[in-house]
Amino acid sequence: MTMSKTYESSRRVVVTGLGVLSSLGIGAEAFWKRLAAGESGIAEIHLLPYSAAPHNVGGEVRNFDDQLVRSTFPKKQRKSARVMCREIRLGVVSAALALADSGIDLETMDHDRFGVDFGANLMFSPPDVLRDACWQCVQEDDAQRRFQYDQWGEVGLKSMEPLWLLKYLPNMPACHIGIFMDARGPNNSITQDEASGNLALGEAMQVILRGRADVMLAGTTGTRLHPVKSIHAALWDELASSELPPQKWCRPFDLNRTGQVLAEGACSFLLEEASHARSRGANILATILGSGSSCVFKRNGRPRIRQALVNAMRSALRDAGLRPDEIGHVNAHGLSSRDSDREEARAIQDIFGRDAEVPVTALKSYFGNAGSGCGTLELAGSLLGLKQGVVPATLNYETADPECPINVVHGQPLAVSNKTVLNINVTRIGQASALVASVE
């Protein structure tokens, strides 16, 4: 990705607004307060009475209710909340928080120069949404109940709520945000699981650098706390379980890690062309410098996580015009699974050298894996920390793993003078993304 090199002499992209919803809290201030204090948001889930997550433990966004949604949405948009599942609502509220945080005036801005780039997971209906319609297609046959597939279109589907599907489409967060903010510029949706955050921000950056917009709302929303998705996770992934308190379960790069913790969350950034932000006196949190992506897998379909991450990091550094030794710290994917963490540590070594001392932090240790929502939350943690001159520590890192020989920040936040971060994420099928940002 070299597009930004063409425009970097005349256009720069800065962050002027941030909206966060995670198990650490709602809003950037609450999020950072607990992150700085080293407090975990992982606990027993109250959102679902049961799930496939071990002992029903995860990173849940607490106090996210209808009253918060109504207070966040403009009055004319509140009815649209009825056709939003929880994931979509999380994303739209995070966008509203980012907009408010930026202080931008919607009344005076050029809405044709305002766009949206948003990431989300594939979304699923909870089983109870389909239950009644499915039962109408079940017939008794020799004391057995059989689902009659040929009746679904004529009988079952007719009994479904007319706007049912609109509640679960992954492009709907970007659609609702565009309507909510009257953003008439470029609008795109990205659905690449954990890699989505860096991709959405990177694409939004390129839209501004190409001169197609002056302002972009970019972010992601995601969840793995779901009756169906948690089953997928239990079948496909290594999930943490322990006799320790839930706050201790997620242990990225630690020798005694046992797997990932499921979570939900959303995070949005308001991005502006630098001169546009300065002209209105905006407070600038950070500058987006470059992005990269890669997808690598073997002929048998198995992912090559290490190589995908190496490719994405190299691309992001090249896009930013930086060398590895100019990076202040890496915000790692840090899934807390045996294989993924090992492959990621090796990828970091491939870029920074075997003896490199680049600090590495892994913030899923605080709030778990929110799927598509994780990368933006992790970037927010780094940027808020760098604003205070520190890199947040990784929770629960107690015993170094010889297979992960990297410099993990732990114990307490690390004071730094280099305020440039390389944020990296990767999916279970080998889709990797990276983003470089700096705080002045």
**193-210 residue pLDDT tens:** 999 999 999 999 999 999
- How does residue 4 score in pLDDT terms, banded at 50, 70 and 90? very low
What integer best gives the mean pLDDT of the chain?
94
Confidence at residue 432, expressed as pLDDT on a 0 to 100 scale: 98
Confidence at residue 9, expressed as pLDDT on a 0 to 100 scale: 56
The neighbouring-strand residues paired with 303 are 297
Over residues 231-245, the mean pLDDT reads 96
Confidence at residue 270, expressed as pLDDT on a 0 to 100 scale: 98
What's the pTM? 0.95
Dump pLDDT digits (tens) for 140-174: 876 788 999 999 998 999 888 888 889 999 999 99
Dump pLDDT digits (tens) for 101-144: 999 999 999 999 999 999 999 999 988 899 999 999 998 876 78
CATH 3.40.47.10 fits 12-124+167-438, yes or no: yes
**% of the chain residues with pLDDT over 70:** 98
For the cut 50, the answer to whether the pLDDT of residue 3 exceeds it is no
Dump pLDDT digits (tens) for 369-421: 999 999 999 999 999 999 999 999 999 999 999 999 999 999 999 999 999 99
